[in-house]
Amino acid sequence: MTKTTIGIFGGGQLGRMMAQAALPLNIQCIFFEASLDCPSAALGKIISAKSDDALNKFIESADVFSLEFENTPLTDVDILTQKKNLYPPRQALAIAQNRLLEKALFDELNIPVAAYRAVDSLLSLEQAVNDLDLPIVLKTATGGYDGKGQFVLHEKNQIEQAWAELGPAKSLIAESFVKFSREVSIIAVRGQDGEIRTWDLAENHHHHGILSHSIIPAPNSQALQPVAEDYVTRLLNHLNYVGVLTLELFVTEQGLYANEMAPRVHNSGHWSIEGAICSQFENHIRAVAGLPLGSTETLKPTVMVNIIGQHPNCAEVLALTGAHLHLYNKTERCGRKLGHITLMPNQQEQLSDLCRKLAVILPNPLALTSDMCID
Amino acid sequence: MTKTTIGIFGGGQLGRMMAQAALPLNIQCIFFEASLDCPSAALGKIISAKSDDALNKFIESADVFSLEFENTPLTDVDILTQKKNLYPPRQALAIAQNRLLEKALFDELNIPVAAYRAVDSLLSLEQAVNDLDLPIVLKTATGGYDGKGQFVLHEKNQIEQAWAELGPAKSLIAESFVKFSREVSIIAVRGQDGEIRTWDLAENHHHHGILSHSIIPAPNSQALQPVAEDYVTRLLNHLNYVGVLTLELFVTEQGLYANEMAPRVHNSGHWSIEGAICSQFENHIRAVAGLPLGSTETLKPTVMVNIIGQHPNCAEVLALTGAHLHLYNKTERCGRKLGHITLMPNQQEQLSDLCRKLAVILPNPLALTSDMCID
């Protein structure tokens, strides 16, 4: 039988888990990545993005292409798409890489977002501060992550300082803050035939700006689920999207507000490897390969906990009932995602108890004990 | 963190699926196998069993050892165990490789088996025919599989022909036939600390002597489950076993009769990848690596169907609700196991319906339609 090869931009843990899902389907993954020792290397050839003529080698080496790195350069994508197909489409990537384009798309599709203004001069920043209630956050339209490339303006007298710091980036966005009670994410997949499937909403908890854990299904989310599905469906169809798309949302008193979208599999969907009939990784691979999508039904309530900075004692983790451990073969470094743990106990009521036990085991407990609100 | 390497005798699909389960635990597998192009090759280094000094290289290359090939030569095992640990233990392997030792162990542990006699001469064959009711099956004590090395004696006048065919093997076993309604298997795992977990009984259906499909949990097996668990537990503890052990059983009017044991993960346990919280592969790896065992609870009723001889249309298979496809990267050959399909629908009643649909799709339908008795 013919074997499909999928070329993937990036070679981190998302690529690793995509390739794990691809293997039983006899689909081979190959990765375009600077580091030959990346997490995906255990499962497929790495074409070093640093080597001569690397991009052309990569393009020749696979049948169809995808990505796990949302900052994949559009210049590379443009060379690729002259010859081969990329899923998700270039347009989705271009929009996700630019906060102004992203907000404009949410507006166009009537997906609520926090009030914002484009800022490209000191004058337009002053105007934005007048239009929006303080505090506001000023961000570069492109680049920046985990709080980098951002400035929070609490008072008008910070305008000049903010402009001095971020003005050189030229294209900025000023956003109001949204009063939200919690953050959720909806993950969806669209096939080449336009079929769409969505997983249950995840409730996401962060610690120092990094996802610490997700609870699935998000508690008390029955009324939110269809709204979130509607929003992500609008995005998928508008973009003629193929593959997995993630939409992060704020839960507010006025309903769901879009935070941002990620044109890829997402950390808040890792639970689906064990917790859903078909995982985000398998369905992404199926979509990219042009295969029918699998059921996204939740098998059991699940908590996914990130392993950040330091590895736990594996034996202690695996001794927890229904615990699954996923390590990414990465070296320890402060703030680095090294793996994740999926907790899937027999009874829902065991979930909080298990999380408390896990918090004791984790070297970096990620506030698991304090904001654990599962019941 | 330190990375454990497990050396595995054999490199077929069982090794492939072991390595898939090992990867997220940051456990590397390495295989001792003649063919460099074997199904396990996608997931770990193959040390060619044909190369010079291969066994020593293999022994040096891993921390602890296991097997996926139950006919692993005991001579190799003896060299290995002078330096490193093998799980399951040598004794279990030696017994499973010899039908007479295996029956004697079942007898010793009061696990019912069909009446049998050891045969090592024409005289002892005549005596066996007198002792046991005809028909009987004469088998070589070692070697032989899928009906090879066997002779079915229906009448006394076949004694000389049977002896002429099998006598040269010197050590034979004559077995009565057991009147059974169906075959089931119990799969269990024992950790290095002696902890034992068992999966639900599988009901196994064969076609031309090859497993075609398994239904889990075996229908109407509530009374059988504890008996089967008791039998396999006796074996595990007696052998001081570590890893996964499979016991095939006949369901008779007199209760369960042991057919044979396999000192390894088993085709009738492939369903557990999706159908149980922790699969036979992950628990085998956990046991061999000295880690705590995972929950063996069944998540959903499941049917596992083998893909034999010819590949199906993958898209047609994946379009079935709750279908998972596992291909082994093998070329097509009559009677060869090329992969398996796990069906895990939302409702139990959909299972028969799904199987009927699958039977239409499979190029080699394996009598799926005729003996499908799931309800």
Q: Is the pLDDT of residue B374 over 60?
A: no
Whether chain A has a CB inside 8 Å of the CB on B24: the answer is yes
CA-to-CA dists, residue A232 to A187, A244, A261, B37, B231, angstroms = 8, 11, 9, 43, 53
> DSSP states of A244-270 as a string?
EEEEEEEEETTEEEEEEEESS--GGGT
Place of tokens 């890829």: A264
| Residue B283 vs residue A1, higher pLDDT | B283
**Residue B170's CB: how many other CB atoms inside 10 A?**
12
B350: closest CA of chain A, how far (Å): 14
User: Residue B44 has what DSSP assignment?
Assistant: S
Partner residue facing B1 (CB), from A25, A299, A311: A311
Cα atoms in the 13 Å half-sphere on the side-chain side of A140: 16
Partner residue facing A1 (CB), from B23, B297, B311: B311
Decide the pairing of beta strands A46-48 and A27-33: parallel
pLDDT band at B144 (very low <50, low <70, confident <90, very high): low
Token pair listed for A177: 């803050």
| Mean pLDDT of all residues belonging to chain B | 92
Do A25 and B327 make contact, defined as CB atoms within 8 angstroms?
A: yes
For B292, which residue in chain A has the nearest alpha carbon?
A319
| Chain A residue at shortest CA distance from B310 | A1
What is the distance of C-alpha B211 from the center of its chain?
10
Decide: B118 and B172 in contact? Cβ < 8 Å.
yes
Amino acid identity, residue B128?
Answer: A
Please name every residue paired with B307 in a beta bridge, in sequence order, or none if there are none: B339
Indicate whether B371 pLDDT > 80: no
Annotated binding site of B for ATP: 99, 139, 144-150, 175-178, 183, 206, 259-260
Query: Residue A108 class from Cβ within 10 Å (0-12 exposed, 13-18 middle, 19+ buried)?
Result: exposed
How far, in Å, CA of A353 to CA of A351, rounded?
Answer: 5
Interface of A with B in 250-309 (CB under 8 A): 274, 277-278, 286, 290-292, 294-295, 297, 299-300
Q: What is the pLDDT of residue B27?
A: 97
**Scanning the structure block, which residue is given the tokens 């630019």?**
A98
Cβ separation of A324 and B299 shorter than 8 Å? no
- Of A323, A317, A303, the C-alpha closest to A374 is A303
Scan residues 212-251 of A and list those with Cβ closer than 8 Å to B. none
Q: Which of B20, B192, B277 to mutate to test the interface with A (most CBs of A within 10 A)?
A: B277
Which one of B25, B325, B344 has the shortest CB-CB distance to A325? B25
Helix axes A224-238, A99-108, angle to 10 degrees: 110
Residue showing tokens 């003529």: A53
The residue among B207, B200, B240 whose CA lies nearest residue B222 is B200
- Which residues of chain B make contact with A1, given a CB cutoff of 8 A? 311, 314, 327, 332
The full length of chain A comes to 375
- Helix/strand/coil for B190: strand
Split chain A (375 residues) into runs of 10 and give each run's mean pLDDT: 90 98 97 94 92 92 96 96 97 97 98 97 95 93 74 94 90 94 97 98 91 94 97 98 98 96 98 96 98 94 93 94 94 93 79 84 68 43
Rounded to a whole number of angstroms, the distance from the CA of A94 to the nearest CA of chain B is 31
B59 to each of B33, B52, B84, B260, B291, how far by Cα in Å? 13, 13, 7, 30, 21
Q: Is B158 exposed, middle or buried (0-12, 13-18, 19+ CB in 10 A)?
A: middle
Nearest to B190 by CA among B89, B77, B74: B89
- Coarse DSSP helix, strand, coil percentages of chain B, rounded to the nearest 5 percent: 30, 30, 40
Tell me if B29 sits within 8 A of B17, measured CB to CB: no
Nearest to B131 by CA among B111, B114, B116: B116
List the one residue out of A192, A184, A197 whose CA is nearest residue A280: A197
Question: DSSP letters along A30-92, please?
Answer: EEEES-TTSGGGGTS-EEETTSTTHHHHHHHH-SEEEES-TT--HHHHHHHTTTS-BSS-HHH
Q: How far apart are CA B198 and CA B187, in angstroms?
A: 6
Question: Tokens 């999928």 sit at which residue?
Answer: A6
Question: Does A318 contact B291 at a Cβ distance shorter than 8 Å?
Answer: yes
Q: Is B206 exposed, middle or buried (0-12, 13-18, 19+ CB in 10 A)?
A: middle
Residue numbering of the annotated binding site of A: 99, 139, 144-150, 175-178, 183, 206, 259-260
How far is A203 from A219, CA to CA, in rounded Å? 7
Tell whether B195 lies on the interface with A, counting CB pairs under 8 A: no
Map out the domains of chain A as residue ranges: 4-86, 115-176, 180-361
Average pLDDT over residues B295-302: 92
Asked if A329 and B24 come within 8 Å (Cβ–Cβ), the reply is no
Summary count for chain B: helices (H), strands (E): 12, 17
The answer to whether the beta carbons of residues B229 and B186 sit under 8 Å apart is yes
pLDDT of residue A373: 42
Fold of A115-176: Dna Ligase; domain 1 (3.30.1490)
Triad A242, A246, A247: Cα angle to 5°:
125
Stated as kind and residue range, the H or E segment containing B139 is: strand B136-140
CB contact under 8 A, A20 and B20: yes
H or E stretch at A285: helix A280-288
| Contact assignment for A23 to B20 by CB distance below 8 Å | yes
The partner residue sitting opposite B299, judged by closest CB among A23, A286, A299, is A299
CB B273 within 8 A of CB B291: no
Residue of B nearest to A315 (CA): B291
Q: How many angstroms separate the CA of residue A374 from the nearest CA in chain B?
A: 21
Mutate to test the interface with B, among A16, A25, A304, A338 (most CBs of B within 10 A): A25
A334 CB within 8 Å of a chain B CB: no
pLDDT at residue number A208: 82
- Give B327-352 pLDDT, tens digit per residue: 999 999 988 999 999 998 776 667 77
Q: Are B297 and A346 in contact (CB < 8 Å)?
A: yes
Fold of A180-361: D-amino Acid Aminotransferase; Chain A, domain 1 (3.30.470)
Q: Which of A277, A281, A284, A361 to mutate to test the interface with B (most CBs of B within 10 A)?
A: A277
Which residues of B fall within a CB distance of 8 Å from A324?
24, 278, 294
Fold entry, domain A4-86: Rossmann fold (3.40.50)
Classify domain B5-86 by CATH number: 3.40.50.20
A113 and A132 in contact (C-beta within 8 Å)? no
- Cβ-in-10-Å burial (0-12, 13-18, 19+) of B117 comes to buried
Pick from A294, A299, A311: CB nearest B318: A294
Contact B294 A327 (CB under 8 A): no
Report how many Cβ contacts below 8 Å link chain A to chain B: 87
A336/B contact by beta carbon, under 8 A = no
Using a CB-CB cut-off of 8 Å, the residues of chain A touching B299 are 299-300
Task: Say what percent of chain B tops pLDDT 90.
Answer: 83
Q: What's the whole-number mean pLDDT along residues B48-56?
A: 88
Q: Is A321 on the interface with B (CB under 8 A)?
A: yes
Taking every pair of C-alpha atoms in chain B, what is the biggest distance, in angstroms?
Answer: 68
Question: Rounded to whole angstroms, how far apart are CA atoms A310 and A333?
Answer: 7
**What's the confidence (pLDDT) of residue A101?**
97
Strand order in the sheet with B150-153: B116-119, B172-176, B136-140, B150-153
Hey, of B16, B26, B45, B271, which one would you mutate to test binding to chain A, going by the most A CBs within 10 A of its CB?
Answer: B26
Contacts of B295 in chain A (CB under 8 A): 321-322, 346
Distances (CA, A) of B28 to A304, A331, B3, B371: 24, 16, 7, 40
B-chain CB neighbours of A329 within 8 Å are 3, 26
Quick one: average pLDDT of B203-231? 94
